[in-house]
Amino acid sequence: MNTDLLLDDKKIIRAWAIFDWANSAYSLVISTAIFPIYFIAVAPEYLDFLGLELSSSSVYSYSIAFAYVLIAIVAPMLGGIADFGNKRLTFLKAFTTIGALSCMCLYFFSSELTVWGGTAAFVISTVGFAGSLIFYDSFLPNIASKSNYDKVSAIGYAYGYIGSVILLLFILFMSQKPELFGFASDSSLPYRIGFVLVGVWWLGFAQITFRKMPQDNNKRLPSGFVRSGYKELLAAFKDLRGDKNLLYFLGSFFFYSAGVQTVIYLATIFAEQELNFSSSELILTVLLLQVVAIFGAYVFAKIAKSKGSKKTLIVLILIWMLICLAAYFTRSKMLFYLISFFVGLVLGGIQSTSRAGYTKLLKSGEDDLSSFYSFYDVLFYLSVVFGTFAFGLVNQLTQNIRYSVLTLVIFFMIAIVLLAPMKFKEMVSTDV
């Protein structure tokens, strides 16, 4: 494999971070800010699925869970195959292309008649988005020295927050001033064009990353590559199983990710049901969160550099616990905005510190990087399913969404217990 890139080269790091700039538009516009609201507005209140009558909100939730379960099943196998055949970049391109094109297909989701087509496009694009991250993350050790993992990881997330906000603001401008673009004031066209723009943005900017990352070999995958891919995966699993530090970290990562991602995915529902937030207020909250997250990613990267990854993660998790406790008692919109500020601050921090921390734990010169990162990302995806399911179950049993918020505190407590005995090998950073 061509891995002879210069470590800590600023141009290569920027090219790598551009992929965060590219695909974070999907995360913000489709997963968080616009498409969930659009889906509920366009879809009928109830949908028939194999004889079952499901609410549109349930269909949306189940589609997210299905997409993450699907990628969790296939990603480890794909990671092993990518490592065995030296095809990491090939898989990154494939998932990016599939995800971006499926996102563009959301343009045709314009009424109740196309709701299932829109749901299918959303599921496929979510799989493309999630799958691409496995291979993107695995390039981090190829472009940065271990001492700079925190800083470079933070640069990637910061690029993502900035790029996604720029595109979101343009889409919101189109929707608020449709007459400037020749759209009818009551048309869904600005949003549907926005979905196309997300796909174009994602696929277009990703080309910069594709050109600068280590190139795959040109050989065709040999026969039996699936079996060999599983062998690569099994070898990575054996290494993980024999490393207590990695096991403790991955266990902790699973539980605090379940808490973090549930907050991100369901905060808008909490705000709407408990505090009567309007759609415009919800989008304003998301924008606030994203902008603050840029600052948070850099701040906690510096803290991790000076205090170490373990202490930084424990502080971040404790703040997340306090956020959930504060949300339980929140009765005013102003307090919710304040909580959203702190969510943004620690969101950027915990994402960048987690990716960098896991990379520090991997042995230098690992050949099966995609396999190792597939475990990391699969746990992340399963944590989304686990967290949102637990949140919904508690809400269903208690009929009180605030108790669901308290449940997340337990997740963070477990994460701290698992993180406490582990050790990171910290190194002195050089300038990037």
Instruction: Give pLDDT, residue 193.
Output: 95
Of the candidates 344, 339, 293, 321, the one whose C-alpha atom is nearest the C-alpha of residue 419 is 321
* The two structure tokens encoding residue 307: 């205090």
Helix (H, G, I), strand (E, B) or coil at 223: coil
pTM for the whole thing?
0.78
Instruction: Give pLDDT, residue 414.
Output: 96
The residues, ordered by sequence, that sit 6+ positions from 399 with a Cβ below 8 Å of its Cβ are none
Give the Å distances, CA to CA, from 147 to 34, 300, 356, 428, 430. Answer: 38, 15, 10, 6, 7
Give the Å distances, CA to CA, from 41 to 36, 46, 188. Answer: 9, 12, 10
DSSP string, 323-337: HHHHHHH--SHHHHH
- Amino acid at the residue 6: L
- Domains of the chain (ranges; CATH) run 10-419 (1.20.1250.20)
Please list the residues that pair with 46 across neighbouring strands: 55
d(CA 73, CA 430): 38
Q: What is the mean pLDDT of each run of 10 residues along the chain (432 residues)?
A: 67 95 92 84 85 79 84 75 74 95 96 93 94 86 83 87 91 88 83 96 97 79 65 72 84 94 78 78 82 84 85 94 92 90 88 83 63 76 84 78 89 94 61 51
Sign of CA dihedral 17, 289, 403, 57: negative
Please state whether 86 falls in left (phi above 0), alpha (psi between -120 and 50) or beta: left
The residues, ordered by sequence, that sit 6+ positions from 58 with a Cβ below 8 Å of its Cβ are none
Instruction: Give pLDDT, residue 427.
Output: 46
Angle in degrees, CA 14, 79, 118, rounded to 5: 80
Q: Which residue has 């507005």 as its token pair?
A: 41
Instruction: Give pLDDT, residue 19.
Output: 97
The string of pLDDT tens digits covering residues 273-292 is 788 888 778 888 888 888 88
Q: Which residue has 């995915």 as its token pair?
A: 265
How many of the other CB atoms lie within 10 Å of CB of 237? 15
